[in-house]
Amino acid sequence: MAKIVIDGREVEARTDVNLLQACLEAGKDLPYFCWHPELGSVGACRQCAVKQYANADDKRGRIVMACMTPVTEGAIFSVDDPEAKEFRGEVVEWLMTNHPHDCPVCEEGGECHLQDMTVMTGHRERRYRFDKRTHNNQELGPFVKHEMNRCISCYRCVRFYRDYAGGEDLGVFSAHNNVYFGRHESGTLESPYSGNLIEVCPTGVFTDKPFSKMYSRKWDMRGAPSVCSNCATGCNTIINERAGKVRRTLNRYNDEVNRYFLCDRGRFGHGWVNAPTRLRSAGYVINGDMTPVPAQAALDHFGKIAATGKLVGIGSPRASLESNYALRKLVGAENFSTGMAEPEHSLVKLAVSLLGSSPARIATMHEMETSDGALILGEDVSATSPRMSLALRQIKRTAFNKAADQARVPHWMDASVRTLGQDTVSPLFVVSPTVTDLDGFAQDAIRAMPENAARLGFAIAHRIDSSAPDASDLTEAETASASRIAEALLAAEKPLLVSGLQYASAALLQATANIASALAAKGKTPLVSFVLPEGNSMGLALMGGLSLDEIVSRSADATLIVLENDLSRRLDTVRFNTLIDNAANLVVLDHSVTPTAIRSQVTFPSAAYTETDGTLISAEGRAQRFFQVVYPDAPLQAAWRWIADMAQAAGRSHVKPWAKLDDLIAEIATIMPVFARIPEAAPASDYTLEGVPLRSQTHRVSGRTAIRANISVRDIPPPASPDTPLHSTMEGSYSTDMPGTLVPFYQVPGWNSEQSLNRFQQEIGGKMRGGDCGVRLVEGVANAAASYAMDVPSAFVPRVGQFMLLPEARVFGTDEMSMMAQPIADRAAPAVVRIGGAVAKGSQVRLSLNGEVFTVDAVSDPTLPEGVATCPPHMVSRSWSAPGWVSLEMTAPAERVETESAV
Amino acid sequence: MLGILRTIWLTFLHMFHRNETVQYPDVKPYLSPRYRGRIVLTRDPSGEERCVACNLCAAACPVDCISLQKGEKEGRWYPEFFQINFSRCIFCGFCEEACPTYAIQLTPDFEMSEYVRQNLVYEKEDLLISGPGKVHDYSFYNVSGLKIPGKNKGEAENEAKPIDIHALMP
Amino acid sequence: MNNIETFSNIPHILANGTEWYLGLSACVDGGTKLYGVSGRAKRPGVFELPLGTSLGVILNECAGGMQDGYKLRAFLPGGASTAFLGAEHADIIMDYPTPEKAGSRLGTGLAILLDDKTSPIGMIRNLEHFFAQESCGWCTPCRDGLPWVERLLIAIEEGRGTPEDIERLHDAARLIGPMGRTFCAHAPGAIAPLASGLKMFAEDFQRMVSKSTPGTVESGAAGQAA
Q: Does C164 touch chain A (CB under 8 A)?
A: yes
Which CATH number do you get for residue A29?
3.10.20.740
Instruction: Give SS3 for A807.
Output: strand
Contacts C147 to A, Cβ<8 Å: 97, 176-177
Domain boundaries, chain B: 26-142
Predicted local distance difference test score (pLDDT) of residue A261: 98
Q: Report the interhelical angle of A506-521 vs A476-491 (nearest 10°).
A: 50
Predicted local distance difference test score (pLDDT) of residue A773: 85
pLDDT in tens, A406-464: 999 999 999 999 999 999 999 999 999 999 999 998 999 999 999 999 999 999 999 99
Q: What is the tally of structural domains in chain C?
A: 2
Cα torsion A668, A674, A676, A681: sign = negative
CATH architecture of B26-142: 2-Layer Sandwich (3.30)
Percent of chain C with pLDDT over 70: 93
CB contact under 8 A, C141 and A155: no
Q: Which of A46, A118, A123, A153 is the best residue to mutate to test the C interface, defined by the most C CB atoms within 10 Å of its own CB?
A: A46
Q: Residue B67 is nearest to which of A133, A215, A703, comparing CB atoms? A: A703
Please give chain B's pLDDT, 170 residues, in tens.
899 999 999 999 999 998 888 888 999 989 999 999 999 999 999 999 999 999 999 999 999 999 999 999 999 999 999 999 999 999 999 999 999 999 999 999 999 999 999 999 999 999 999 999 999 999 999 999 999 999 999 999 989 999 998 887 76
CB contact under 8 A, A100 and B144: yes
A868-871: strand order across its sheet: A884-886, A803-807, A868-871, A833-835, A852-860, A844-849, A889-891
Residue C88 domain boundaries:
4-115
pLDDT in tens, A361-390: 999 999 999 999 999 999 999 999 999 999
Phi-psi region of A187 (alpha: psi -120 to 50; beta: other; left: phi over 0): left
Least Cα separation, residue C72 to chain A (angstroms): 34
Which CATH number do you get for residue C58?
3.10.20.600
Dist CA A115 CA A228 (whole Å)? 30
CB contact under 8 A, A709 and B55: no
pLDDT in tens, C154-184: 999 999 999 999 999 999 999 999 999 999 9
CB contact under 8 A, C148 and A130: yes
Q: What is the mean pLDDT of residues C48-77?
A: 95
H helix runs in A147-289, sequence order = 156-158, 196-200, 209-212, 264-268
Least Cα separation, residue A108 to chain B (angstroms): 11
Same structural domain, C80 and C130: no
Choose one of C97, C115, C133: the last residue of a domain: C115
Strands A206-208 and A144-146: antiparallel
Contacts A112 to B, Cβ<8 Å: none
Contacts A216 to B, Cβ<8 Å: 55, 69-70
Q: Residue A131 is nearest to which of B67, B121, B159, comparing CB atoms? A: B159
**CA-to-CA dists, residue A468 to A376, A423, A500, A788, angstroms:** 19, 35, 21, 6
Dist CA C18 CA C30 (whole Å)? 9
Same structural domain, C168 and C198: yes
Least Cα separation, residue A175 to chain C (angstroms): 5
Residue in B closest to A172 by C-alpha = B165
Dist CA A852 CA A684 (whole Å)? 49
Report which DSSP code applies to A196. Answer: H
Least Cα separation, residue A751 to chain C (angstroms): 22
Neighbours of chain C (3+ CB pairs under 8 A): A
Q: What is the mean pLDDT of residues C121-138?
A: 96
**CA-to-CA dists, residue A6 to A21, A50, A692, angstroms:** 13, 10, 35
Predicted local distance difference test score (pLDDT) of residue A785: 82
Predicted local distance difference test score (pLDDT) of residue A903: 67
Least confident of A127-141, A235-249, A780-794, C135-149: A780-794
Contacts B44 to A, Cβ<8 Å: none
Choose one of C92, C115, C138: the last residue of a domain: C115
Which CATH number do you get for residue A823?
2.40.40.20
Residue A71 domain boundaries:
2-80
CA-nearest of A599, A563, A633 to A280 is A633
CB contact under 8 A, C168 and A49: no
Choose one of A477, A505, A534: the last residue of a domain: A534
CB contact under 8 A, A44 and C135: no
Half-sphere exposure in the Cβ direction for A225 (13 Å, CA): 29
Contacts A105 to B, Cβ<8 Å: 52, 54, 77, 140, 144, 146
pLDDT in tens, A256-296: 999 999 999 999 999 999 999 999 999 999 988 899 999 99
Least Cα separation, residue C78 to chain A (angstroms): 24
Contacts C144 to A, Cβ<8 Å: 94-95, 97-98, 177
Q: What is the mean pLDDT of residues A772-780?
A: 90
Q: Residue C136 is nearest to which of A47, A86, A176, comparing CB atoms? A: A176
> pTM value?
0.94
Neighbours of chain B (3+ CB pairs under 8 A): A
pLDDT over threshold 80, residue A110: yes
Instruction: State the greatest distance between any 2 C-alpha atoms of chain B, in Å, as a whole number.
Output: 103
Q: Does A570 fall in a domain?
A: no
Same structural domain, C162 and C208: yes
**HEC profile of A719-773:** CCCCCCCEECCCCCECCCCCCHHHCCCCCECCECCHHHHHHHECCCCCCECCCCC
CB contact under 8 A, C181 and A176: no
Same structural domain, C42 and C71: yes
What does chain B come to in residues?
A: 170
CB contact under 8 A, C181 and A174: no
Write the ipTM: 0.92
Q: Residue A135 is nearest to which of B67, B83, B163, comparing CB atoms? A: B163
pLDDT over threshold 60, residue A589: yes
pLDDT in tens, A159-208: 999 999 999 999 999 999 999 999 999 999 999 999 999 999 999 999 99
Dist CA A876 CA A901 (whole Å)? 6
Q: Which of A86, A176, A203, A413 is the best residue to mutate to test the C interface, defined by the most C CB atoms within 10 Å of its own CB?
A: A176
Same structural domain, C102 and C129: no
Choose one of A472, A505, A534: the last residue of a domain: A534
Q: Residue C148 is nearest to which of A91, A128, A152, comparing CB atoms? A: A128
Instruction: Give SS3 for A152.
Output: coil
Same structural domain, C135 and C48: no
Which CATH number do you get for residue C219?
1.20.1440.230
CB contact under 8 A, A706 and B88: yes
Give the start-end residues of each E strand in A141-199.
144-146, 171-173, 180-182
Which CATH number do you get for residue A469?
3.40.228.10
CB contact under 8 A, B160 and A134: yes
Q: Which of A69, A133, A173, A177 is the best residue to mutate to test the C interface, defined by the most C CB atoms within 10 Å of its own CB?
A: A177
Predicted local distance difference test score (pLDDT) of residue C224: 33
Cα torsion A258, A259, A265, A270: sign = positive
Same structural domain, C41 and C128: no
Residue in A closest to B144 by C-alpha = A101
pLDDT over threshold 70, residue C223: no
Dist CA A223 CA A251 (whole Å)? 12
Least Cα separation, residue B157 to chain A (angstroms): 8
Q: Does C158 touch chain A (CB under 8 A)?
A: no
Same structural domain, C180 and C153: yes
Choose one of A18, A53, A80: the last residue of a domain: A80
Asked if residue C23 lies in contact with residue C43, where contact means CB atoms within 8 angstroms, the answer is no
Q: Residue C139 is nearest to which of A44, A97, A130, comparing CB atoms? A: A44
H helix runs in A410-449, sequence order = 414-420
pLDDT band at residue C212 under the 50/70/90 scheme: low
Residue A396: partners with Cβ closer than 8 Å, 6 or more residues away: A421, A424, A426, A428, A441
pLDDT in tens, C51-64: 999 999 999 999 99
pLDDT in tens, A719-730: 999 999 999 999
Q: What is the tally of structural domains in chain A?
A: 3
CB contact under 8 A, A220 and B59: yes
Question: A386-409: b or e for each residue (b if 16 or more CB lie within 10 Å)?
Answer: bbbbbbbbbbbbbbbbebbeeeeb
pLDDT over threshold 90, residue A679: yes
Q: A–B: how many Cβ contacts below 8 A?
A: 132
pLDDT band at residue C1 under the 50/70/90 scheme: confident
**CA-to-CA dists, residue A761 to A309, A686, A739, A889, B59, angstroms:** 55, 24, 11, 58, 29
CB contact under 8 A, A178 and B163: yes
Same structural domain, C25 and C104: yes
Q: Report the interhelical angle of A344-357 vs A506-521 (nearest 10°).
A: 10
CB contact under 8 A, B65 and A213: no
Q: Does A750 fall in a domain?
A: no
pLDDT over threshold 80, residue C219: no
Q: Does A397 fall in a domain?
A: yes
Mean residue pLDDT across chain A: 95
CB contact under 8 A, A103 and B100: yes
pLDDT over threshold 50, residue A89: yes
Contacts C133 to A, Cβ<8 Å: 176
Predicted local distance difference test score (pLDDT) of residue A780: 87
Neighbours of chain A (3+ CB pairs under 8 A): B, C
Predicted local distance difference test score (pLDDT) of residue C222: 33
pLDDT in tens, A6-22: 999 999 999 999 999 99
Least Cα separation, residue B111 to chain A (angstroms): 20
Dist CA A769 CA A317 (whole Å)? 32
Same structural domain, C149 and C208: yes
Query: Is the preceding omega at residue B132 within 30 degrees of 0, hence cis?
Result: no
Q: Does A378 fall in a domain?
A: yes
Q: Does A460 fall in a domain?
A: yes
Give the start-end residues of each E strand in A235-342.
236-242, 245-251, 283-286, 289-292, 311-314, 336-337
Q: Residue C180 is nearest to which of A63, A95, A174, comparing CB atoms? A: A63
